[in-house]
Structure 1
Amino acid sequence: MKSKTLLLLTIVLTVFCMTKWGWAGPIRQVDAQTLGTWMGQSQKVTVIDAGSLLACLDTKIPGAWCLPCDHEKGAAFFSSLPRENKIVFYAANQPLDADCDLIRQAQDGDRKDLYVLEGGLAAWRKAGNPVVSEKRIPRIALAAVKPKNLSAWKKTVNNPLVVDIRSPKAFAAGHLDGAVNFPLTRLHVEYAEIPLDRTLLMVDEDGTGSFLAASYLVRKGFPNVRRLKGGMAEYRRGAQ
């Protein structure tokens, strides 16, 4: 009886994890402490930052691959890995999207040990684990616009443009009036499409990614860049 109860509990937990994350195939969560233990014991683990390339190159888990969700050659990459490898996905500045195509490519390749790092890079750092930087983007002190002052800011600056760097799915679910969508995952290849003569307000979900994006654009020659303090999360709290 006890063994049957344990088996049922295992099935329920597996289904819960799959439903929570939204992926059709078997993918589990792993916490930062466990991942650190795996890596410290030299277990065969492939860690992948599937978020923004800019964010990954700026700060990542040591040894992690920078492969965004829209990476087109994921199938070839996964087929080159030993079958016994655990594969752990995470993102630096935003939760992994349930529509992440890279993870679907791993599932289509019949990979078994697939995981998502619970809490992403923030949880990894909070656990006291090390990070590395391949191409650090120096942060630039930029003014942040409080959500409650957004309307007034638009009236006082010259030719404002709200640039939302969240995923297309998050953008479609709700965004600020007049905003344009330049996902952080594509900003390094699409930034030239943003007009140089506009006063930019960078918007993300919680205010962390916009700091990186704004600093990047300033270094690319954009003269007037601001960011929304606290991102859309704080904006929504103020609207309630």
Structure 2
Amino acid sequence: MMRKALLIGCLVLAVWGGVAVASPQITVDQPEYDFGSIGLGYMVKHTFVLQNTGDEVLNIVYVRASCGCTTTDLPASSLAPGESVPLEVLVLADHGTSKNVFIYVHTNAPDSAGNANDDRMDFDIKLVVKGAITPGQEYNMAPFEVANDMMILVDLRDAAAYQANHLMGAINIPANELADRMGSLQKGARIIVYDLAGEAADAAVQTLLNSGYMSSFYLQGGLSRWVAVQGDRFLIYETPLPAAGGSITGGSSGRPYDLGTLRTEFYVLIDLRDAAAYAAGHLSGAMNIPAAQLSQWFDRLPQEKRIIVYDDDGTSATAAYQALDNAGFDRPMILLGGLNEWIYQYGNQYVLSN
């Protein structure tokens, strides 16, 4: 009887032990990535490969980084035994002389004591992305700096009125088409709409606000008020300017944008590529002035404002910057890395096609 009891006890312990051993386990191909050096304003991308080397399903609960400059992308969070998943990490070289970013991966795998991970400090894998940051040129604007300042002007008048005269960089979306075409605008952008004298702008802002475009405003008094106060400043026109006027009465949206504020914040964004490349995709608010024609615009561009030029990769932007600087413009700038670097960092955000 004693031998039988001992045998049963051993079997129970064996079964219990087998159950206890079964668990998920996370491993990574290389936990540390040294990118060497990169210029200020550029972005580093690296993919770590995570694998479940245990014998139970691994659930990746969340991934967090030690720096707000870092984002991660994980296409799957549940891994069967033996399965792997790529973890893409993007680190922006936004300041300083170096980066040393930690990425913590939290899962349902037990810790070394067999306890479940149940708090923020109890991570399973710590990954590292590190390297040096080289200083940039003072005339370069990083994509994140341009994105932070991005201002989208929307002219609500019909195509003929827009063609006759409009603010530099404004895109044309007639008021009666706004509801159908607002999807081309970025919800995080500062959007300033205007018409001739304020007739439709307030209602347009209300439409945008109702659709989640929470940084939407209307130019107080419209284009005619602008002409009355600012004259032809920042305007492109083929015909005489509209008559001065425009109502300054506040609308129901309560989102007027002061003319003086717009004048202070105004900048010009110039796409230096040819017309076909521009039509295929360009940054919101960019004017198309091919590099060979830039000097023809020197008497129309505002000398005291930031003028940001870009091409695909910076090939012609440096020469354009030098031409503007030699011509006496106060604040010529280059979009760092051109449109290629923008798309590398932001995808198609703020990119429009004709």
Q: Which bracket does the TM-score occupy, shorter chain normalised? A: 0.3 to 0.5
Q: Which has the larger radius of gyration?
A: 2
TM-score normalized with structure 1 length? 0.39
User: Larger RCO: Structure 1 or Structure 2 (Cα < 8 Å, ≥ 6 residues apart)?
Assistant: 1
Structure number having the greater helix percentage = 1
**TM-score, normalization: structure 2?**
0.27
